[in-house]
Structure 1
């Protein structure tokens, strides 16, 4: 099979690796419009379950990823001058630049052609049996056939900035700072190479009240460093805007598509779907897309069957992550509902933000129920079963009231 992959991010590179491992005779080329080594972003997170899957699919690249990752098993929250620590699942961070370098080297070693600085447009697609659109949330290939794919974007309420720092966090770190214009918060995690990622988020009111929507990058970074001095310990924050330009403060856009394939063209990773950054699953889901597409191509001899099977399986597997992401984003949008709790309780509910039941139960009551459910198996089972049902019922009633 001749495969052309448009986009050299984690999804495209990992798919190329898996296809060459399945059949070295496959002719696989990855086209990336940016120069090699010019990756945007700071670091990405993933969890132990992904690392286990990487080892099963390609041990060589998995070992390299693990070797260059940092890990943590605690979360720490800074709220109202108090510090709260809690144990958590084993998390990992790796710089996006390092991850892409590992995957590119592995792909080359297997015979994949990597064409950097090569922008493929819908008007000049190379001849291939399969064309993979792994060109991100703004996919040009998907946009060309927008009516067919049926892309829909849902924009969140809050604004965010994706920043870096040379402060190396020893745990996944949350910091909530109250200002005269409302709360602003950050999550930070180490990603190797002596760096950490620091994502800052706030409501529109806080953004404009602090003047962050109009401040140039240097001014904005200095203000944010002061607001989060408690976790930065004197280390600066860094951005990536052009010199003298403003610091971007987008709202997160959740992307869904009506279908993921058209003829021999298929969507992969962020071109097919996005999930809110607060669950730290974007790269994991992109890599799992690659695993799913490679498996479907192995299991089905006819390309239409393979692409339909890939879409069907991945849509089903994504439901849990997409639900978690929606509830997680809502938790931060509703931060005033939780921020007045004692810090250890607020942090506990932060860990429960994926729950569909939480928005509909008074926070103090939910905290008590959750503590009890953790001690009694029957209560835990009841909570798990009731959550989606109560959420659906309340959402239905709310929609009826609006009508």
Structure 2
């Protein structure tokens, strides 16, 4: 049997490893258009409950978090100059680049073939494979190419967000609400190593426009960051991050899109991770969902080992309801974050605001 994975993100690498381990005779090839060390974004975060589930398949994630990541139990909400802590679930985070490096090592050790800097342009190139796993992210090219079969949809939020890192070290998951001359901006922040934190900034469309953040040319090649926004936010959040700099990595404003597909499969082709579904980052990690997809698909391939169509049906039957529950839980949270500025202004009491915010940040 020959299996191709399009995309060397955490979901694709994890699935390739699990399948190769359970079926050593299978030829598993991962195609990735970027180089091994290329990665956009900063950290990935997981709840303790997620870690327990993934550990049963492979402890690589827990090992990464134990050796290289950070763990916390409480959530901190900063608003009106006050800092309020709210009891939450245990969570941990690690640098995305670190996790990818460890997953590449795991896949290589199992005998997975990885072809970096290899973009699959013609689907016919994959005709020799018995299964093609499409795990090329939220902007999946193949989901779009086969739109008649996958029937993808996208609900685009009005709020704007941009992803940075910072050398300021947060204690754990922290939500910083900063009222400035142009409106209210909020940061979703958490530590991912001993020297870096993720710093995702979100704001409403009106504040974004008043701040003049629409000057960056989005047609620039991937990799370039919006340096004017970086300077603006460093100044706006200066006191909150003790004057530390922000770190860019393909950092540019975007609108979050909740993506779905009416079908996750097309013959021997199947969607996995962000290519199949997305949920706002306030309630779930795309990496978490992708790795859970990988476990489910590997298990389905094991149970229906003689029939790829049967395995893909089993995978979608089991995973779709779970993914949709996360997406449905994200709807009210996403709405809250689209309009959080009015909540910041409505609640004079920081404690009252923190209690209001807490259900929408986990």
* Same fold, judged at TM 0.5 (above): yes
Are 2:57 and 1:48 aligned?
no
Structure 1 residue corresponding to 2:357, chosen from 350, 355, 372: 350
- Alignment-derived partner of residue 140 in structure 2: 139
Which structure's relative contact order is higher, taking Cα pairs within 8 Å and 6+ residues apart?
Answer: 2
Q: Please identify, of 224-233 and 28-37, the stretch whose mean Cα deviation from structure 2 is larger.
A: 224-233
Aligned 1:150-161 pairs, distance under 5 A: 150-161=151-162
Unpaired runs of 5+ in structure 1? 242-246, 356-403
- Higher gyration radius (CA): 1
Q: 1:169 deviation in Å?
A: 0.8
**Change over 3 Å in CA distance of 1:319–1:140 after alignment to 2:** closer
How far the C-alpha of 1:64 sits from its partner, in A, is 3.4
Query: Which residue matches 1:186?
Result: 187
CA distance in 2, matches of 1:19, 1:97: 23
Query: 1:293 touches 1:307 (CA, 8 Å); kept in 2?
Result: yes
Query: For the residues of structure 2 that align with 1:2 and 1:61, how far apart are their CA atoms?
Result: 26
CA contact (8 A) 2:135 2:274 kept: yes
Q: Classify 1:189/1:198 alpha carbon distance in 2 versus 1 (closer, same or farther; 3 Å).
A: same
Query: Offset at 1:179?
Result: 2.3
- State the Cα distance separating 1:343 from its structure 2 match: 1.2
Q: Distance in 2 between matches of 1:61 and 1:207?
A: 36
Deviation per CA, 1:120-172: give whole Å up to 9, x if none: 12444331110111111121222111111101111001001000111111121
Map of 1:317-396 to 2, 5 A cutoff?
317-339=322-344, 340-341=346-347, 342-353=349-360
C-alpha distance in 2, partners of 1:32/1:132? 12
Residue by residue over 1:88-137, the C-alpha shift from the partner in whole angstroms, topping out at 9 and shown as x without a partner, is 21111111100100100001011111111111124443311101111111
Secondary structure at 1:171's aligned position in 2? coil
Match of 1:276 among 256, 277, 280: 280
Deviation at 1:226, TM superposition (A): 1.7
Q: Distance in 2 between matches of 1:61 and 1:38?
A: 19
SS of the equivalent of 2:136 reads coil
Matched, 1:226 2:235: yes
Number of residue pairs the alignment of both structures matches: 350
Q: Distance in 2 between matches of 1:352 and 1:337?
A: 17
The residue that corresponds to 1:84 in the other structure is 84
Residue matched to 1:311: 316
CA distance in 2, matches of 1:227, 1:61: 35
Change (3 A) 1:70 1:34: same
Distance 1:61 1:85, change over 3 A: closer
Where do 1:118-267 residues align within 5 Å? 118-126=118-126, 127-214=128-215, 217-241=226-250, 248-267=252-271
What is the root-mean-square deviation in Å for CA atoms of aligned residues?
1.7
TM normalised by structure 1 equals 0.83
SS in 1 for 2:54: helix
Q: 1:220 to 1:60 in 2, by over 3 A?
A: closer
Cα deviation, 1:190-241, whole Å, max 9, x if unaligned, reads 1115111100011111011111222683332122112112321110112134
The 8 Å contact of residues 61 and 99 in structure 2, kept in 1 or not, is answered as: no
Aligned to 2:220: none
Tell me which residue corresponds to 1:378: none
SS at match of 1:279: coil
Asked if residue 9 in structure 1 is aligned to residue 13 in structure 2, the reply is no
Deviations 1:27-69 (A, max 9, x none): 1111111011111111111111121122211135542343222
* Aligned mates of 1:173, 1:59 — CA distance in 2: 27
1:256–1:10: structure 2 CA closer, same or farther, 3 Å change rule?
same
Structure 1's 2 and 329: CA in aligned 2 closer, same or farther, altered over 3 A?
same
TM-score w.r.t. the length of structure 2 is 0.92
Match status 1:26 vs 2:26: yes
Mean CA deviation greater in 59-68 or 129-138: 59-68
Q: Does the CA contact (< 8 Å) of 1:15 and 1:294 recur in 2?
A: yes
Q: Point out 4+ residue stretches in structure 1 off by more than 6 angstroms.
A: none
